[in-house]
Amino acid sequence: MESITLDVTEFANGGYAVGRASRGRTVFVPYAIPGEKVKVAIHTEKNKVAYAHLQQVLKASPERATPRCPHFGVCGGCHFQHMAYTAQLQAKHAVVIDQMWRIGNMKDAPVRPTLPHPQPWGYSMEMNLSPVAGGGLGFWSPAEKRIIPIESCPISRLELVDLLHDVDLDLPGLRKLTLRVGDDEALLAAVEVDGVEPPELEADFPLSVVIVLPDDTAVNLIGDNFTMQTIQGRDFRISAGCYLPPSAAGMELVVDTVRRYARLTGVEQVLELYSGVGILTAFLAEGAAELVAIEMNPDAVADTAVNLDADHVSLYEGTVEEVLPELDIKPDVLVLHPPKEGLSREAAKVVAGLRPSRIVYVSADIATLARDGRAFIRDGYNLVEIQPIDTRPQTFHVDVVGLWQRQS
């Protein structure tokens, strides 16, 4: 491998820092900070784009911090523990601006400062684990290209770390184990195994156990197949195969932003796509005259029915591509929270025909938001504002809410 000295200048999406090297090469390196001089070893190079390992920090940034986790740099769960928290927020803001320009073709996009998480450590209510060769459970290590055993995780709730040490599973065909804790401190373990035959399990302490099937529905083995999360004073049931916000505090920031952008006055018809278990639905319904929601996961639809008590909300089960063309609806406000892949080509075509006054787009992937937002602008919308929200501190991930307004 070629070793070079690199002046780091900026951040790129995905947690990489970037520097320019000889022969016009752009070098991506993790665990470095803009303003630093570092020694790196290039391991991959193609068409003047190189990826490198960090070998030594020759000139450290004042924002460099001591990681809290002994697995940092080996485990792939965190990317920014080497940076002060204020620097993490600035990095995410810079990446959002960069992606809106590079992918969305929107130079100088109106991006607000990143909203900080009130609890940058010990916030995560979920751990996704895989079996370690030789026994035990752990996380995927990009550095070692294998699952490594985990003893601690400072971004996870302490109850989950304790549960990790207490769980003893020997399941043939186990692919994934997800541990969750509710705001009521109830614990849940969701297993994914090869095939759909439920394994025989026993628990000698209070714990719900479910098997998650290939369609993301869950079957109870022990106890309940859901946890409860309290968001802005409302309780939400969230089944094992459904999306669980990393923390209630982070989700509350998303809810506040969506409500601010939707600007509902009680007379609007709202269409919500990819509505999940109804968290945004519940708060949007408070200000809407009528709300129509579409969600494909049957467990999430069932959760929404439990989580909502509103006569003016209509809920449809199915994909956006299947359901939306069958509806006769002209919404005033469109709210959508698609998966990280963003809108499919077919869904984008159907959405374009709706012509709402405002579009509020919630995304966990700035690249797909930028791509889909570029299509909104082609369809006659102006980008009003982008709000990054740090729902997952210590990682490069950032939730983003964008507001597009139809041109008059």
pLDDT digits 0-9 by tens, 253-268: 999 999 999 999 999 9
Does 78 reside within a domain? no
- CATH, residue 315: 3.40.50.150
Does 47 reside within a domain? yes
Question: What total number of domains does the chain contain?
Answer: 3
- Given a contact cutoff of 8 angstroms between Cβ atoms, the answer to whether 227 and 238 are in contact is yes
> Average pLDDT of 319-328?
95
DSSP 156-185: B-HHHHHHHHH-----TTEEEEEEEE-TT-
Q: With bands split at pLDDT 50, 70 and 90, how would you rate the model's confidence at 282?
A: very high
Domain-terminating residue out of 225, 255, 273: 225
Does 12 reside within a domain? yes
Best CA proximity match to 347, nearest among 375, 313, 310, 317: 375
Residues 280 and 175 in one domain: no
Residues 392 and 311 in one domain: yes
- DSSP character at residue 49: E
CA–CA distance, 159 with 372 (Å, rounded to integer): 38
Q: What is the pLDDT of residue 197?
A: 60
CA–CA distance, 334 with 352 (Å, rounded to integer): 11
Residues 136 and 101 in one domain: no
> Average pLDDT of 197-218?
70
The set of residues, in sequence order, having a beta carbon less than 8 Å from that of 125 and lying 6+ positions away, is 157, 160, 180, 181, 182, 227, 229, 244, 245, 246, 247, 248
Q: With bands split at pLDDT 50, 70 and 90, how would you rate the model's confidence at 202?
A: low
Residues 113 and 258 in one domain: yes
- Given a contact cutoff of 8 angstroms between Cβ atoms, the answer to whether 30 and 16 are in contact is yes
Residues 166 and 221 in one domain: yes
pLDDT higher than 60, residue 198? no
Q: With bands split at pLDDT 50, 70 and 90, how would you rate the model's confidence at 196?
A: low
pLDDT higher than 80, residue 200? no
Residues 317 and 181 in one domain: no
The set of residues, in sequence order, having a beta carbon less than 8 Å from that of 354 and lying 6+ positions away, is 271, 329, 330, 331, 334
Residues 176 and 258 in one domain: no
Q: With bands split at pLDDT 50, 70 and 90, how would you rate the model's confidence at 97?
A: very high
Which residue do the tokens 């504002």 mark? 385
Residues 114 and 252 in one domain: yes
Angle at 176 between CA 175 and CA 179, to 5 degrees: 160
Does 241 reside within a domain? no
Stretch (H or E) spanning 5: strand 2-11
- Given a contact cutoff of 8 angstroms between Cβ atoms, the answer to whether 126 and 118 are in contact is no
> Average pLDDT of 242-246?
93
Residues 251 and 383 in one domain: yes
pLDDT digits 0-9 by tens, 33-79: 999 999 999 999 999 999 999 999 999 999 999 999 999 999 989 99
pLDDT higher than 80, residue 408? no
Does 271 reside within a domain? yes
Does 149 reside within a domain? yes
Task: Considering only residues 306 and 196, tell me which one the structure prediction assigns the higher pLDDT.
Answer: 306
pLDDT higher than 60, residue 338? yes
- DSSP character at residue 138: E
Residues 265 and 334 in one domain: yes
pLDDT digits 0-9 by tens, 381-407: 999 999 999 999 999 999 999 999 999
CA–CA distance, 209 with 192 (Å, rounded to integer): 11
CA–CA distance, 178 with 162 (Å, rounded to integer): 14
Model confidence, pTM: 0.93
pLDDT higher than 80, residue 316? yes
Q: With bands split at pLDDT 50, 70 and 90, how would you rate the model's confidence at 330?
A: very high
pLDDT higher than 80, residue 167? no
Does 213 reside within a domain? yes
The set of residues, in sequence order, having a beta carbon less than 8 Å from that of 233 and lying 6+ positions away, is none
Residues 286 and 387 in one domain: yes
What is the signed CA dihedral for 71, 77, 83, 89, rounded to 10 degrees? -160
Task: Considering only residues 134 and 298, tell me which one the structure prediction assigns the higher pLDDT.
Answer: 298
Alpha carbon separation from 383 to 111, 326, 337, 399 (Å, rounded): 10, 29, 17, 17
Q: What is the pLDDT of residue 35?
A: 96
Q: What is the pLDDT of residue 383?
A: 97
Residues 177 and 318 in one domain: no
Domain-terminating residue out of 21, 43, 64: 64
Does 230 reside within a domain? no
CA–CA distance, 114 with 274 (Å, rounded to integer): 24
CA–CA distance, 237 with 121 (Å, rounded to integer): 24
- DSSP character at residue 111: B
> Average pLDDT of 23-37?
94
Domain-terminating residue out of 193, 225, 257: 225
Which domain, by its residues, includes 136? 126-225
- CATH, residue 6: 2.40.50.140
